[in-house]
Amino acid sequence: MSPRLSRTEKAKRVGEILDRLYPMPPIPLQHEDPFTLLVAVMLSAQTTDKKVNEVTPALFAMARTPKAMAAADEKAILAHIRTLGLAPTKAKNLKTLSQQLADKWGGEVPSDEEALESLAGVGHKTASVVRAQAFGIAAFPVDTHIHRLAARWALSSGRNVVQTERDLKALFPQGTWNRRHLQIIYFGREHCPARGHDLTTCPICSWAASKAKIREESPQKATR
């Protein structure tokens, strides 16, 4: 562990490790265009990407444009996504946002942050993902997983995702934001789970986490 590393130095080292492990991180949600990505990201709330990828092929076979989705019966939409968390609310929002896109943006997904966040069921994180992954606009979407790892690595003391996003944007070069958030997600899944994680053997936690965090989350190691 290197307690004397500044946050900037630590972020640089974290970035080097992430770039080595995930030089070209793929987008985990299957999609064909900005609209299908927007739908997939919206559906992924409180649901795994794997579950979303299981239901979207049939959903998009029924309706893969805003006009077609707006015309679809809400019950038909719900039938396709019933296995996902919050399915009734998502079905309602999906039909509404599709109608909004058809009415206000000619059936095209806007790249503007404010416009995206005005759509039914689309919050800041979803808008940031779409801007980054569909339009290549620099954004750093922060979900609960990235928020957790940023705290674990002492890169942010933010008490919410808004502060964590601000801290990470300040630490990592803007040109890395779009891949960095994906890299952190993959790293969390494969190397740094929320529970049962031995921080002392983690490629990043072992040197980035504070001694207090290691004692808190790896008590069996800290007492040896």
Amino acid, res. 189: R
For residue 29, give the nearest of 20, 39, 17, 16 by alpha carbon: 39
Give the separation between CA 208 and CA 212, rounded to whole angstroms. 12
Q: 114 vs 76, 85, 119, 166, 193, CA distance in Å?
A: 30, 26, 9, 18, 33
**Cβ atoms within 10 Å of 121's Cβ, excluding its own:** 19
Q: Which of 90, 125, 169, 198 is catalytic?
A: 125
103: annotated active-site residue: no
Give the separation between CA 35 and CA 100, rounded to whole angstroms. 12
Please say whether the beta carbons of 154 and 209 come within 8 A. yes
Q: Which of 143, 167, 169, 211 is catalytic?
A: 143
112: annotated active-site residue: no
Give the separation between CA 168 and CA 97, rounded to whole angstroms. 30
Residues acting as catalytic residues: 125, 143
